[in-house]
A and B are shown apart, each in its own frame.
Chain A
Protein backbone atom coordinates (compact mmCIF):
# COMPACT_ATOMS: atom_id res chain seq x y z
CA UNK A 1 0.00 0.00 0.00
CA UNK A 2 1.62 3.21 -1.09
CA UNK A 3 -0.90 5.22 1.04
CA UNK A 4 0.52 3.99 4.32
CA UNK A 5 4.12 3.93 3.16
CA UNK A 6 3.60 7.55 2.10
CA UNK A 7 2.33 8.33 5.58
CA UNK A 8 5.42 6.76 7.12
CA UNK A 9 7.59 8.78 4.78
CA UNK A 10 5.73 12.02 5.54
CA UNK A 11 5.90 11.46 9.27
CA UNK A 12 9.59 10.58 9.30
CA UNK A 13 10.33 13.86 7.57
CA UNK A 14 7.63 16.17 8.99
CA UNK A 15 6.76 14.75 12.40
CA UNK A 16 8.08 17.85 14.08
CA UNK A 17 5.77 20.05 12.03
CA UNK A 18 2.75 17.95 13.02
CA UNK A 19 3.51 16.79 16.52
CA UNK A 20 5.68 19.54 18.00
CA UNK A 21 4.66 22.67 16.20
CA UNK A 22 1.11 21.71 15.25
CA UNK A 23 0.04 20.02 18.46
CA UNK A 24 1.97 22.58 20.49
CA UNK A 25 0.20 25.51 18.89
CA UNK A 26 -3.17 23.80 19.06
CA UNK A 27 -2.82 23.09 22.77
CA UNK A 28 -1.41 26.54 23.45
CA UNK A 29 -4.21 28.27 21.56
CA UNK A 30 -6.80 26.05 23.24
CA UNK A 31 -5.40 26.59 26.74
CA UNK A 32 -5.14 30.34 26.28
CA UNK A 33 -8.68 30.46 24.92
CA UNK A 34 -10.22 28.39 27.70
CA UNK A 35 -8.24 30.13 30.47
CA UNK A 36 -8.88 33.71 29.44
CA UNK A 37 -12.30 32.80 28.05
CA UNK A 38 -13.27 31.48 31.48
CA UNK A 39 -12.05 34.65 33.18
CA UNK A 40 -13.86 36.90 30.73
CA UNK A 41 -16.82 34.52 30.92
CA UNK A 42 -17.07 35.12 34.67
CA UNK A 43 -17.44 38.84 34.05
CA UNK A 44 -20.01 38.34 31.30
CA UNK A 45 -21.89 35.98 33.61
CA UNK A 46 -21.79 38.56 36.42
CA UNK A 47 -23.06 41.22 34.03
CA UNK A 48 -25.79 38.86 32.87
CA UNK A 49 -26.90 38.16 36.43
CA UNK A 50 -26.52 41.69 37.76
CA UNK A 51 -29.46 43.91 38.51
CA UNK A 52 -28.12 46.66 36.25
CA UNK A 53 -30.23 46.83 33.11
CA UNK A 54 -27.36 48.29 31.06
CA UNK A 55 -24.83 45.56 31.95
CA UNK A 56 -27.53 42.99 31.48
CA UNK A 57 -28.41 44.04 27.96
CA UNK A 58 -24.74 44.44 26.95
CA UNK A 59 -24.03 40.86 28.03
CA UNK A 60 -27.21 39.57 26.46
CA UNK A 61 -26.61 41.26 23.09
CA UNK A 62 -22.95 40.28 23.01
CA UNK A 63 -23.95 36.67 23.54
CA UNK A 64 -26.55 36.83 20.82
CA UNK A 65 -24.16 38.38 18.31
CA UNK A 66 -21.47 35.81 19.06
CA UNK A 67 -23.88 32.89 18.84
CA UNK A 68 -25.66 34.33 15.82
CA UNK A 69 -22.62 34.80 13.54
CA UNK A 70 -20.09 32.29 12.22
CA UNK A 71 -16.94 31.90 14.26
CA UNK A 72 -14.80 32.22 11.16
CA UNK A 73 -16.35 35.62 10.49
CA UNK A 74 -15.59 36.71 14.06
CA UNK A 75 -12.00 35.58 13.65
CA UNK A 76 -11.69 37.60 10.45
CA UNK A 77 -12.95 40.68 12.26
CA UNK A 78 -10.24 40.36 14.90
CA UNK A 79 -7.57 39.26 12.45
CA UNK A 80 -8.17 42.32 10.26
CA UNK A 81 -9.50 44.77 12.82
CA UNK A 82 -7.04 44.52 15.71
CA UNK A 83 -3.91 45.37 13.62
CA UNK A 84 -5.62 48.63 12.66
CA UNK A 85 -6.07 49.57 16.29
CA UNK A 86 -2.74 48.14 17.41
CA UNK A 87 -0.31 48.12 14.48
CA UNK A 88 2.19 45.27 14.63
CA UNK A 89 0.05 43.03 16.83
CA UNK A 90 0.99 39.40 16.02
CA UNK A 91 -1.60 37.35 14.17
CA UNK A 92 -1.54 34.71 16.89
CA UNK A 93 -2.63 37.31 19.43
CA UNK A 94 -5.39 38.78 17.27
CA UNK A 95 -6.79 35.38 16.49
CA UNK A 96 -6.50 34.28 20.13
CA UNK A 97 -8.53 37.28 21.22
CA UNK A 98 -11.22 36.31 18.72
CA UNK A 99 -11.33 32.81 20.16
CA UNK A 100 -11.35 34.13 23.73
CA UNK A 101 -14.33 36.40 23.15
CA UNK A 102 -16.25 33.62 21.41
CA UNK A 103 -15.50 31.09 24.12
CA UNK A 104 -16.23 33.57 26.91
CA UNK A 105 -19.77 34.01 25.65
CA UNK A 106 -20.42 30.28 25.60
CA UNK A 107 -18.73 29.72 28.92
CA UNK A 108 -20.67 32.53 30.58
CA UNK A 109 -23.82 30.56 29.84
CA UNK A 110 -22.21 27.44 31.29
CA UNK A 111 -21.52 29.42 34.47
CA UNK A 112 -24.98 30.87 34.58
CA UNK A 113 -26.77 27.58 34.16
CA UNK A 114 -24.37 25.92 36.63
CA UNK A 115 -25.26 28.54 39.21
CA UNK A 116 -28.97 28.39 38.48
CA UNK A 117 -28.92 24.62 38.79
CA UNK A 118 -28.11 24.97 42.50
CA UNK A 119 -31.32 24.49 44.46
CA UNK A 120 -32.92 27.79 45.44
CA UNK A 121 -33.48 26.35 48.90
CA UNK A 122 -29.71 26.55 49.47
CA UNK A 123 -29.76 30.31 48.99
CA UNK A 124 -32.85 30.66 51.15
CA UNK A 125 -31.31 28.63 53.95
CA UNK A 126 -28.10 30.66 53.84
CA UNK A 127 -29.91 34.00 53.76
CA UNK A 128 -32.25 32.90 56.56
CA UNK A 129 -29.17 32.34 58.72
CA UNK A 130 -28.25 35.98 58.15
CA UNK A 131 -25.48 35.50 55.59
CA UNK A 132 -25.13 38.31 53.07
CA UNK A 133 -25.80 37.81 49.38
CA UNK A 134 -22.07 37.75 48.71
CA UNK A 135 -21.30 35.24 51.46
CA UNK A 136 -24.12 33.05 50.22
CA UNK A 137 -22.71 33.15 46.70
CA UNK A 138 -19.09 32.40 47.66
CA UNK A 139 -19.63 29.89 50.48
CA UNK A 140 -22.82 28.10 49.47
CA UNK A 141 -23.77 28.52 45.82
CA UNK A 142 -20.44 28.61 43.96
CA UNK A 143 -18.89 25.58 45.68
CA UNK A 144 -21.91 23.59 44.55
CA UNK A 145 -22.11 25.18 41.11
CA UNK A 146 -18.49 24.29 40.42
CA UNK A 147 -19.50 20.65 40.25
CA UNK A 148 -21.81 21.46 37.36
CA UNK A 149 -19.37 23.88 35.76
CA UNK A 150 -16.03 22.06 35.70
CA UNK A 151 -17.14 19.09 33.56
CA UNK A 152 -18.85 21.48 31.14
CA UNK A 153 -15.66 23.52 31.01
CA UNK A 154 -13.76 20.34 30.18
CA UNK A 155 -16.12 19.72 27.29
CA UNK A 156 -15.59 23.30 26.14
CA UNK A 157 -11.84 22.53 26.07
CA UNK A 158 -12.50 19.61 23.73
CA UNK A 159 -14.75 21.70 21.49
CA UNK A 160 -12.17 24.48 21.29
CA UNK A 161 -9.42 21.98 20.47
CA UNK A 162 -11.30 21.15 17.29
CA UNK A 163 -12.46 24.72 16.63
CA UNK A 164 -8.88 26.02 16.65
CA UNK A 165 -8.49 24.36 13.25
CA UNK A 166 -10.25 27.48 11.94
CA UNK A 167 -7.11 29.41 12.85
CA UNK A 168 -5.32 27.71 9.95
CA UNK A 169 -7.15 30.21 7.74
CA UNK A 170 -4.68 32.72 9.15
CA UNK A 171 -1.74 30.33 9.16
CA UNK A 172 -1.39 30.50 12.93
CA UNK A 173 0.60 27.26 13.21
CA UNK A 174 -1.76 24.78 14.83
CA UNK A 175 -2.32 21.24 13.54
CA UNK A 176 -4.43 22.28 10.57
CA UNK A 177 -1.76 24.77 9.54
CA UNK A 178 0.74 21.91 9.67
CA UNK A 179 -1.51 20.13 7.22
CA UNK A 180 -1.44 23.09 4.84
CA UNK A 181 2.36 23.33 5.06
CA UNK A 182 3.10 19.63 4.55
CA UNK A 183 0.48 19.20 1.85
CA UNK A 184 2.02 22.17 0.02
CA UNK A 185 5.45 20.55 0.16
CA UNK A 186 4.47 16.94 -0.63
CA UNK A 187 1.23 17.23 -2.63
CA UNK A 188 0.04 14.11 -0.74
CA UNK A 189 -3.33 15.59 0.29
CA UNK A 190 -5.19 12.50 1.47
CA UNK A 191 -2.24 11.17 3.43
CA UNK A 192 -1.79 14.51 5.19
CA UNK A 193 -5.52 14.73 5.96
CA UNK A 194 -5.40 11.25 7.42
CA UNK A 195 -2.49 12.16 9.69
CA UNK A 196 -4.27 15.30 10.89
CA UNK A 197 -7.47 13.37 11.53
CA UNK A 198 -5.61 10.84 13.67
CA UNK A 199 -3.91 13.62 15.64
CA UNK A 200 -7.21 15.38 16.42
CA UNK A 201 -8.85 12.08 17.23
CA UNK A 202 -6.15 11.07 19.68
CA UNK A 203 -6.09 14.50 21.30
CA UNK A 204 -9.85 14.55 21.90
CA UNK A 205 -9.79 10.92 23.00
CA UNK A 206 -7.27 11.73 25.72
CA UNK A 207 -9.11 14.90 26.74
CA UNK A 208 -12.38 12.98 26.90
CA UNK A 209 -10.79 10.52 29.31
CA UNK A 210 -9.51 13.34 31.50
CA UNK A 211 -12.90 15.06 31.56
CA UNK A 212 -14.67 11.77 32.26
CA UNK A 213 -12.41 11.10 35.21
CA UNK A 214 -12.98 14.63 36.50
CA UNK A 215 -16.74 14.16 36.22
CA UNK A 216 -16.63 10.93 38.16
CA UNK A 217 -14.56 12.50 40.90
CA UNK A 218 -17.00 15.42 41.15
CA UNK A 219 -19.87 13.02 41.58
CA UNK A 220 -18.27 10.90 44.26
CA UNK A 221 -17.27 13.92 46.35
CA UNK A 222 -20.92 14.71 47.05
Chain B
Protein backbone atom coordinates (compact mmCIF):
# COMPACT_ATOMS: atom_id res chain seq x y z
CA UNK B 1 0.00 0.00 0.00
CA UNK B 2 2.78 2.44 0.98
CA UNK B 3 6.37 1.81 0.12
CA UNK B 4 9.28 4.13 0.77
CA UNK B 5 12.61 3.74 -0.94
CA UNK B 6 15.76 5.32 0.49
CA UNK B 7 13.87 8.24 2.01
CA UNK B 8 16.02 11.20 3.07
CA UNK B 9 14.81 14.37 4.72
CA UNK B 10 16.84 17.27 6.08
CA UNK B 11 15.71 20.49 7.67
CA UNK B 12 17.55 23.72 7.09
CA UNK B 13 17.68 25.46 10.43
CA UNK B 14 18.40 29.16 10.56
CA UNK B 15 21.76 29.93 12.13
CA UNK B 16 23.01 26.38 11.66
CA UNK B 17 25.73 25.84 9.05
CA UNK B 18 24.64 22.27 8.26
CA UNK B 19 21.09 21.09 7.55
CA UNK B 20 19.71 18.71 10.16
CA UNK B 21 19.62 15.25 8.59
CA UNK B 22 16.46 13.70 10.07
CA UNK B 23 15.63 10.74 7.83
CA UNK B 24 18.64 8.80 6.63
CA UNK B 25 17.42 6.49 3.92
CA UNK B 26 14.29 4.86 5.27
CA UNK B 27 13.04 1.77 3.41
CA UNK B 28 9.67 0.54 4.52
CA UNK B 29 6.72 -1.30 3.08
CA UNK B 30 3.30 -1.08 4.66
CA UNK B 31 0.89 -3.70 3.38
CA UNK B 32 -2.82 -3.29 2.86
CA UNK B 33 -4.73 -4.10 6.06
CA UNK B 34 -1.62 -3.91 8.20
CA UNK B 35 -1.43 -2.01 11.47
CA UNK B 36 2.06 -0.63 11.89
CA UNK B 37 3.14 1.24 15.00
CA UNK B 38 6.17 3.46 15.18
CA UNK B 39 7.86 3.89 18.52
CA UNK B 40 11.14 5.44 19.54
CA UNK B 41 12.77 8.31 21.40
CA UNK B 42 11.67 11.87 20.84
CA UNK B 43 13.49 13.52 17.94
CA UNK B 44 14.15 10.21 16.24
CA UNK B 45 12.22 11.19 13.12
CA UNK B 46 8.90 9.38 13.70
CA UNK B 47 6.72 12.39 12.89
CA UNK B 48 8.88 13.42 9.97
CA UNK B 49 8.62 9.93 8.49
CA UNK B 50 4.85 9.86 8.93
CA UNK B 51 4.45 13.35 7.47
CA UNK B 52 6.54 12.37 4.48
CA UNK B 53 4.06 9.62 3.65
CA UNK B 54 1.44 12.18 2.57
CA UNK B 55 4.07 14.73 1.58
CA UNK B 56 3.33 17.24 4.32
CA UNK B 57 7.11 17.09 4.41
CA UNK B 58 8.76 16.73 1.05
CA UNK B 59 11.77 14.40 1.12
CA UNK B 60 14.79 15.64 -0.79
CA UNK B 61 15.77 12.16 -1.86
CA UNK B 62 14.05 8.82 -2.26
CA UNK B 63 10.63 7.71 -3.43
CA UNK B 64 7.25 7.06 -1.93
CA UNK B 65 4.87 4.68 -3.68
CA UNK B 66 1.25 4.86 -2.68
CA UNK B 67 -0.96 2.17 -4.16
CA UNK B 68 1.67 1.65 -6.85
CA UNK B 69 2.02 5.32 -7.82
CA UNK B 70 5.24 7.21 -7.17
CA UNK B 71 3.83 10.28 -5.46
CA UNK B 72 7.23 11.94 -5.32
CA UNK B 73 7.36 12.00 -9.14
CA UNK B 74 7.15 15.36 -10.91
CA UNK B 75 3.69 16.45 -12.05
CA UNK B 76 1.79 14.30 -9.56
CA UNK B 77 -1.43 15.84 -8.22
CA UNK B 78 -0.82 15.10 -4.57
CA UNK B 79 -4.28 16.30 -3.51
CA UNK B 80 -5.90 13.30 -5.20
CA UNK B 81 -3.66 10.90 -3.28
CA UNK B 82 -4.05 12.71 0.01
CA UNK B 83 -7.79 12.17 -0.29
CA UNK B 84 -7.04 8.48 0.19
CA UNK B 85 -4.78 9.00 3.21
CA UNK B 86 -6.37 10.22 6.42
CA UNK B 87 -4.19 11.91 8.99
CA UNK B 88 -4.75 12.54 12.69
CA UNK B 89 -2.54 15.02 14.50
CA UNK B 90 -1.32 15.28 18.06
CA UNK B 91 -3.02 18.66 18.46
CA UNK B 92 -6.28 17.64 16.73
CA UNK B 93 -6.30 20.61 14.33
CA UNK B 94 -10.08 20.62 14.15
CA UNK B 95 -11.46 23.67 12.33
CA UNK B 96 -12.62 26.08 15.05
CA UNK B 97 -14.71 28.29 12.76
CA UNK B 98 -16.87 25.40 11.54
CA UNK B 99 -19.47 23.36 13.37
CA UNK B 100 -18.77 19.74 14.24
CA UNK B 101 -20.88 18.63 11.27
CA UNK B 102 -19.18 21.06 8.88
CA UNK B 103 -15.77 19.86 10.05
CA UNK B 104 -16.71 16.46 8.69
CA UNK B 105 -18.61 17.38 5.54
CA UNK B 106 -16.37 20.18 4.24
CA UNK B 107 -13.72 18.06 2.53
CA UNK B 108 -15.99 15.41 0.95
CA UNK B 109 -18.17 18.16 -0.53
CA UNK B 110 -15.32 20.43 -1.68
CA UNK B 111 -13.50 17.57 -3.34
CA UNK B 112 -16.78 16.56 -5.02
CA UNK B 113 -16.75 13.10 -3.52
CA UNK B 114 -20.24 13.66 -2.12
CA UNK B 115 -23.19 15.99 -2.32
CA UNK B 116 -23.97 17.96 0.82
CA UNK B 117 -26.90 15.64 1.58
CA UNK B 118 -24.79 12.51 1.20
CA UNK B 119 -22.03 14.03 3.30
CA UNK B 120 -24.52 14.98 6.03
CA UNK B 121 -25.86 11.44 6.05
CA UNK B 122 -22.37 10.04 6.44
CA UNK B 123 -21.44 12.60 9.12
CA UNK B 124 -24.44 11.44 11.13
CA UNK B 125 -23.31 7.83 10.97
CA UNK B 126 -19.72 8.69 11.84
CA UNK B 127 -20.65 10.95 14.74
CA UNK B 128 -23.00 8.32 16.11
CA UNK B 129 -20.18 5.79 15.88
CA UNK B 130 -17.92 7.89 18.12
CA UNK B 131 -20.69 9.10 20.42
CA UNK B 132 -20.72 12.72 19.29
CA UNK B 133 -24.02 12.92 17.44
CA UNK B 134 -25.46 15.31 20.03
CA UNK B 135 -22.63 17.75 19.22
CA UNK B 136 -23.74 18.08 15.59
CA UNK B 137 -24.14 21.84 15.50
CA UNK B 138 -21.69 22.74 18.29
CA UNK B 139 -18.44 24.49 17.54
CA UNK B 140 -15.30 22.50 18.43
CA UNK B 141 -14.30 25.14 20.99
CA UNK B 142 -16.92 23.60 23.25
CA UNK B 143 -15.52 20.07 23.00
CA UNK B 144 -13.09 18.39 25.38
CA UNK B 145 -9.72 17.24 24.07
CA UNK B 146 -10.91 13.67 23.73
CA UNK B 147 -14.01 14.78 21.84
CA UNK B 148 -11.93 16.97 19.54
CA UNK B 149 -9.66 14.07 18.69
CA UNK B 150 -12.61 11.76 18.03
CA UNK B 151 -13.98 14.46 15.74
CA UNK B 152 -10.61 14.73 13.97
CA UNK B 153 -10.63 10.98 13.40
CA UNK B 154 -14.09 10.88 11.84
CA UNK B 155 -13.29 13.99 9.82
CA UNK B 156 -10.51 11.98 8.20
CA UNK B 157 -12.71 8.91 7.84
CA UNK B 158 -15.33 10.92 5.97
CA UNK B 159 -12.97 10.96 2.99
CA UNK B 160 -13.13 7.15 2.99
CA UNK B 161 -9.35 6.80 3.05
CA UNK B 162 -7.45 3.62 2.29
CA UNK B 163 -4.97 4.27 5.07
CA UNK B 164 -4.97 6.27 8.30
CA UNK B 165 -1.86 7.97 9.65
CA UNK B 166 -1.80 8.84 13.35
CA UNK B 167 0.85 11.08 14.89
CA UNK B 168 0.74 10.60 18.65
CA UNK B 169 -3.06 10.91 18.73
CA UNK B 170 -3.28 10.78 22.53
CA UNK B 171 -0.14 12.65 23.60
CA UNK B 172 -1.90 15.98 24.05
CA UNK B 173 -4.82 14.51 26.01
CA UNK B 174 -5.54 14.52 29.71
CA UNK B 175 -5.05 10.96 30.99
CA UNK B 176 -8.75 10.34 31.56
CA UNK B 177 -9.47 10.99 27.87
CA UNK B 178 -6.83 8.71 26.38
CA UNK B 179 -9.01 5.63 26.62
CA UNK B 180 -11.95 6.99 24.65
CA UNK B 181 -9.68 7.93 21.73
CA UNK B 182 -7.76 4.64 21.78
CA UNK B 183 -11.11 2.81 21.74
CA UNK B 184 -12.08 4.59 18.53
CA UNK B 185 -8.76 3.63 16.94
CA UNK B 186 -9.17 0.02 18.12
CA UNK B 187 -12.59 -0.12 16.46
CA UNK B 188 -11.07 1.19 13.30
CA UNK B 189 -8.36 -1.47 13.43
CA UNK B 190 -11.03 -4.11 13.88
CA UNK B 191 -12.79 -2.88 10.77
CA UNK B 192 -9.64 -3.75 8.79
CA UNK B 193 -8.33 -0.24 8.15
CA UNK B 194 -4.66 0.04 7.25
CA UNK B 195 -3.08 2.15 10.00
CA UNK B 196 0.29 3.71 10.67
CA UNK B 197 0.45 4.90 14.25
CA UNK B 198 3.18 6.88 15.98
CA UNK B 199 2.54 6.33 19.66
CA UNK B 200 3.95 6.28 23.15
CA UNK B 201 1.10 4.11 24.44
CA UNK B 202 3.01 0.85 24.72
CA UNK B 203 0.13 -1.29 25.94
CA UNK B 204 -2.06 -0.13 23.10
CA UNK B 205 0.76 -0.56 20.61
CA UNK B 206 1.28 -4.14 21.70
CA UNK B 207 -2.42 -4.89 21.49
CA UNK B 208 -3.26 -3.53 18.03
CA UNK B 209 -0.04 -3.72 16.01
CA UNK B 210 0.79 -6.32 13.43
CA UNK B 211 4.23 -4.84 13.23
CA UNK B 212 6.24 -2.43 15.36
CA UNK B 213 8.97 -0.16 14.01
CA UNK B 214 11.53 1.23 16.39
CA UNK B 215 12.84 4.48 14.96
CA UNK B 216 16.01 6.06 16.25
CA UNK B 217 18.52 8.46 14.74
CA UNK B 218 16.68 8.79 11.45
CA UNK B 219 16.40 5.12 10.67
CA UNK B 220 14.30 2.12 11.50
CA UNK B 221 16.63 0.57 14.02
CA UNK B 222 14.49 -2.49 14.61
CA UNK B 223 11.21 -3.96 13.45
CA UNK B 224 9.13 -7.02 14.11
CA UNK B 225 5.94 -8.28 15.68
CA UNK B 226 5.07 -6.73 19.04
CA UNK B 227 6.13 -10.00 20.66
CA UNK B 228 9.55 -9.84 19.00
CA UNK B 229 10.20 -6.16 19.61
CA UNK B 230 8.86 -5.95 23.14
CA UNK B 231 9.98 -9.33 24.48
CA UNK B 232 13.09 -10.09 22.49
CA UNK B 233 14.59 -6.83 21.22
CA UNK B 234 17.71 -7.49 19.16
CA UNK B 235 19.04 -3.96 19.11
CA UNK B 236 20.45 -2.71 22.44
CA UNK B 237 18.98 0.74 21.72
CA UNK B 238 15.50 -0.79 21.49
CA UNK B 239 16.05 -2.56 24.77
CA UNK B 240 17.25 0.62 26.39
CA UNK B 241 14.29 2.63 25.09
CA UNK B 242 11.80 0.00 26.21
CA UNK B 243 13.34 -0.28 29.66
CA UNK B 244 12.76 3.45 30.06
CA UNK B 245 9.14 3.53 28.91
CA UNK B 246 8.04 0.22 30.43
CA UNK B 247 9.43 1.09 33.88
- Are the chains A and B members of one assembly? yes
Q: Interface on A for B, CB 8 Å cutoff?
A: 119, 121-122, 124-132, 135, 139-140, 143-144, 222
Chain B window 71-83, contacts with chain A (Cβ cutoff 8 Å), 1 for yes, 0 for no: 0000000011111
- 4 additional A-B residue pairs with CB within 8 Å, beyond A124-B87, A129-B111, A222-B96: A122-B93, A128-B87, A130-B80, A130-B159
Q: Give the chain B neighbours of A127 by CB distance below 8 A.
A: 56, 79, 82
Determine the residue in chain A with the shortest Cβ distance to B96: A222
Is residue B62 within 8 Å, beta carbon to beta carbon, of the partner chain? no
Q: Is the CB of B159 within 8 A of A125?
A: no
Is residue B156 within 8 Å, beta carbon to beta carbon, of the partner chain? yes
Determine the residue in chain B with the shortest Cβ distance to A130: B83
Task: Tell me the bound Cα distance from A124 to B54 in angstroms.
Answer: 10
8 Å CB contact of A140 from B85, B95, B159: B95
Determine the residue in chain B with the shortest Cβ distance to A129: B107
Is residue B155 within 8 Å, beta carbon to beta carbon, of the partner chain? yes
Instruction: Evaluate whether A222 and B82 lie within 8 angstroms (CB atoms) in the complex, with A129-B159, A139-B106 already known.
Output: no
Task: Tell me the bound Cα distance from A215 to B91 in angstroms.
Answer: 27
Q: Is the CB of B79 within 8 A of A130?
A: yes
Q: Closest CB of chain A to B225's CB: distance in Å? A: 29
Instruction: Evaluate whether A121 and B89 lie within 8 angstroms (CB atoms) in the complex, with A130-B83, A143-B97, A222-B141 already known.
Output: yes
Q: Is the CB of A125 within 8 A of B82?
A: no
Q: Interface on B for A, CB 8 Å cutoff?
A: 54, 56, 79-87, 89, 91, 93-97, 106-107, 110-111, 139, 141, 152, 155-156, 159
Determine the residue in chain A with the shortest Cβ distance to B159: A129
Q: Closest CB of chain B to A135's CB: distance in Å? A: 5
26 contacts between A and B (CB under 8 A): A119-B93, A122-B93, A124-B87, A125-B89, A125-B93, A125-B95, A125-B152, A125-B155, A126-B95, A126-B107, A127-B56, A128-B54, A128-B85, A128-B87, A128-B156, A129-B86, A129-B111, A130-B82, A130-B83, A131-B79, A131-B111, A132-B79, A135-B110, A143-B97, A144-B96, A144-B97
Task: Tell me the bound Cα distance from A126 to B82 in angstroms.
Answer: 10
Q: Give the chain A neighbours of B159 by CB distance below 8 A.
A: 129-130
**10 residue pairs, one from A and one from B, having the closest CB atoms:** A130-B83, A125-B93, A129-B107, A128-B87, A121-B93, A130-B82, A143-B97, A130-B79, A144-B97, A135-B110
Determine the residue in chain A with the shortest Cβ distance to B81: A130
Total A-B Cβ pairs within 8 A: 63
Q: Closest CB of chain B to A169's CB: distance in Å? A: 44
Q: Give the chain A neighbours of B80 by CB distance below 8 A.
A: 130
Determine the residue in chain B with the shortest Cβ distance to A135: B110
Task: Tell me the bound Cα distance from A70 to B159 in angstroms.
Answer: 54
Q: Closest CB of chain A to B112's CB: distance in Å? A: 11
Determine the residue in chain B with the shortest Cβ distance to A146: B97
Q: Closest CB of chain A to B58's CB: distance in Å? A: 12
Q: Is the CB of B54 within 8 A of A139?
A: no
Task: Tell me the bound Cα distance from A144 to B84 in angstroms.
Answer: 26
8 Å CB contact of A129 from B83, B91, B97: B83
Determine the residue in chain A with the shortest Cβ distance to B83: A130
Q: Give the chain A neighbours of B96 by CB distance below 8 A.
A: 144, 222
Q: Is the CB of A129 within 8 A of B155?
A: yes
Determine the residue in chain A with the shortest Cβ distance to B54: A128
Q: Closest CB of chain A to B187's CB: distance in Å? A: 21
Q: Give the chain B neighbours of A144 by CB distance below 8 A.
A: 96-97
Q: Closest CB of chain B to A178's CB: distance in Å? A: 44
Counting chain A CB atoms within 10 Å of each CB, which of B95, B97, B106, B141 scores highest?
B97
Instruction: Evaluate whether A128 and B141 lie within 8 angstroms (CB atoms) in the complex, with A121-B93, A122-B95, A135-B110 already known.
Output: no
Determine the residue in chain B with the shortest Cβ distance to A125: B93
Determine the residue in chain A with the shortest Cβ distance to B80: A130
Task: Tell me the bound Cα distance from A140 to B107 in angstroms.
Answer: 11
Q: Is the CB of A124 within 8 A of B106?
A: no
Q: Give the chain A neighbours of B84 by CB distance below 8 A.
A: 130
Task: Tell me the bound Cα distance from A140 to B110 in angstroms.
Answer: 12
Instruction: Evaluate whether A124 and B93 lie within 8 angstroms (CB atoms) in the complex, with A130-B79, A130-B80 already known.
Output: yes
Q: Give the chain A neighbours of B141 by CB distance below 8 A.
A: 222
